[in-house]
Amino acid sequence: MPELRKDPIVGRWVIISTERGRRPSDFGRTVAPKHAGFCPFCMGNELKTPPEVFAVRENGTLPDSPGWRVRVVSNKFPALQIEGDLNRKAEGIYDKMNGIGAHEVIIECPDHELELSQLSVEQINLVLTAYRARMIDLARDKRFRYIQVFKNHGEAAGASLEHSHTQLVATPIVPRRIQEELKGLEQHFEMKERCILCDILDQEMMIGKRVVVDNPDYLAIEPFAPRFPFETWIVPKAHNASFEQSYQGNYYSLARIMKETLTRIHLTLSSPPYNFVVHTAPCNEAQGARQFHWHLEIMPKLTRVAGFEWGTGFYINPTPPEDAASYLRDVAIPEVETAASKTLP
């Protein structure tokens, strides 16, 4: 019997369609092996990208030259433009404004061959530190209300370049999805005076069947009502509104659970395409930001979104999250280095 499940934060219903029950090997969506050829993100090609806005570099190396470990540049084909005023306007009954914003690319490592899950915990920590640096810098611009960090891995997930990278878009509007989460968090808080994501963490740790990885600071879970098969969230155990404001020093613990979780997804599903998004509080004190509980949503792209989903906002998910969690827990992975064993150079 298929099951209808409701996401407790945004109220979205999904259909867990057991009639179409799918095991990891049934999907057959794999990211193609990388091919050689010119790549603007490789070390040595720094002049083929827009100038860097941030980098972690070897001492003594110059901007836009080799010697970097993580490098952030403006997107060469930005969706939004950094210069100008918003200039809010009507067009009859319609509303519009200039497409002001920032669109940057975080190049995660110099090596073309590696993907994020294959980087060292130390290198992933540097990538996360770069997210943070750019988010804090961009939030100083009072035109921006939200900074969305997201990753497209594999062509089927929308990546146009294969060298491992994350993107960031700063928008002058708090996006709908974030507004919906804020509203859900607020409604729960009004009723219970507690955070719903904190309540979810408690229940998931107690039950255990949807837990993928549990470390001292974070929980990786399959959410109760996932839109996509093998959708996985990484949620900090402590209530923190903001990815970028809450951490002093480093992201080793997050880097470690990200490496383990992405490795489990990679091995269970034979290198699937995926997206991930960082959901953090809006910046510049937009609308009730403090009640937010930041988290990361990883969405493997194994099925196609079709007319039914576009028409209704319902999702059909052929893999119950309890099954997905069990597959992800059971896959054998190389031991993930402990953060403690590494120190920054």
Among 199, 217, 238, 344, binds its own copies (CB under 8 A): 199
Lay out the site mask for its own copies across 307-336 (x = CB under 8 A, - = otherwise).
xx-xxxxx-x--------------------
The beta-carbon contacts of 160-163 under 8 Å, at least 24 apart in sequence, are 161/39, 161/40, 161/41, 162/34, 162/35, 162/39, 162/112, 163/39, 163/41, 163/42, 163/107, 163/112
Task: Give the separation between CA 41 and CA 144, rounded to whole angstroms.
Answer: 27
Q: Distance between CA atoms of 140 and 130, rounded to whole angstroms?
A: 16
Tokens of 197: 């994501």
Which residues 257-286 are close enough to bind its own copies by CB under 8 A?
275-279
How far is 220 from 208, CA to CA, in rounded Å?
11
Rule CB under 8 A: say whether 21 interacts with its own copies: no
Which of 79, 161, 238, 344 binds its own copies (CB under 8 A)? It is 79
Minimum distance between the CB of residue 170 and its own copies, rounded to whole angstroms?
A: 11
Asked if 237 is part of the footprint of its own copies (rule: CB under 8 A), the reply reads no
Stretch that binds its own copies, among 117-125, 128-136, 157-165, 284-292 (CB under 8 A): 157-165
| Stretch near its own copies under the rule CB under 8 A, chosen from 133-141, 149-157, 239-247, 336-344 | 149-157
Q: Which is nearer to its own copies, 199 or 285 (CB)?
A: 199
The Cα 331–Cα 328 span in angstroms is: 6
Candidate residues 98, 118, 120, 215; the one interacting with its own copies per rule CB under 8 A: 98
Looking at this protein, which amino acid is placed at residue 68?
A: W
Among 108, 122, 260, 297, binds its own copies (CB under 8 A): 297
Which of 71, 151, 163, 295 binds its own copies (CB under 8 A)? It is 151
Choose which of 117, 129, 152, 291 interacts with its own copies (CB under 8 A).
152
Q: Per CB under 8 A, does 142 bind its own copies?
A: no
User: Minimal distance in Å, beta carbon 307 to its own copies?
Assistant: 3
Residue 99 makes contact with its own copies by CB under 8 A? yes
Hey, which residues between 204 and 223 contact its own copies (CB under 8 A)? 207
The CA-CA-CA angle for residues 186, 188, 194, to 5°, reads 95
What tokens were used for 333?
Answer: 């992975």
Which residue of the set 103, 153, 163, 165 is catalytic?
165
Dihedral of the alpha carbons of 9, 10, 13, 18, in degrees to the nearest 10: -50
Selected binder of its own copies within 123, 148, 164, 232 (CB under 8 A): 148
24 vs 320, which CB is nearer to its own copies?
320
Distance CA 261, CA 213 (A): 7
Cα 147 to Cα 204: distance, rounded to the nearest angstrom: 29
Tell me whether residue 157 or residue 339 sits nearer to its own copies (CB atom).
157
By CB under 8 A, is residue 195 in contact with its own copies?
A: no
Residue closer to its own copies (CB basis): 16 or 119: 16
Residue 157 binding its own copies, by CB under 8 A: yes
Smaller CB separation from its own copies, 60 or 311: 311
Backbone phi, then psi, for 342, in 5-degree steps? -115, 145
Report residue 29 as tokens.
């969506």
Supply 57's token pair. Answer: 């570099």
- Per CB under 8 A, 13 contacts its own copies: yes
> Is residue 66 at the binding interface for its own copies, with CB under 8 A as the rule?
no
The correct pick among 216, 304, 334, 340 for binding its own copies (CB under 8 A) is: 304
Scan for tokens 């993107």, then name that residue: 167
| CA 30 – CA 151 distance, rounded (Å) | 17
Closest CA to 152 of 301, 41, 296, 306: 301
Is 165 in the active site?
Answer: yes
- Alpha carbon 140 to its chain centroid, in Å, reads 22
**Strands 315-317 vs 13-16: parallel, antiparallel or unpaired:** parallel
Q: Tell me if 26 contacts its own copies by CB under 8 A.
A: no
Catalogue the active-site residues: 165
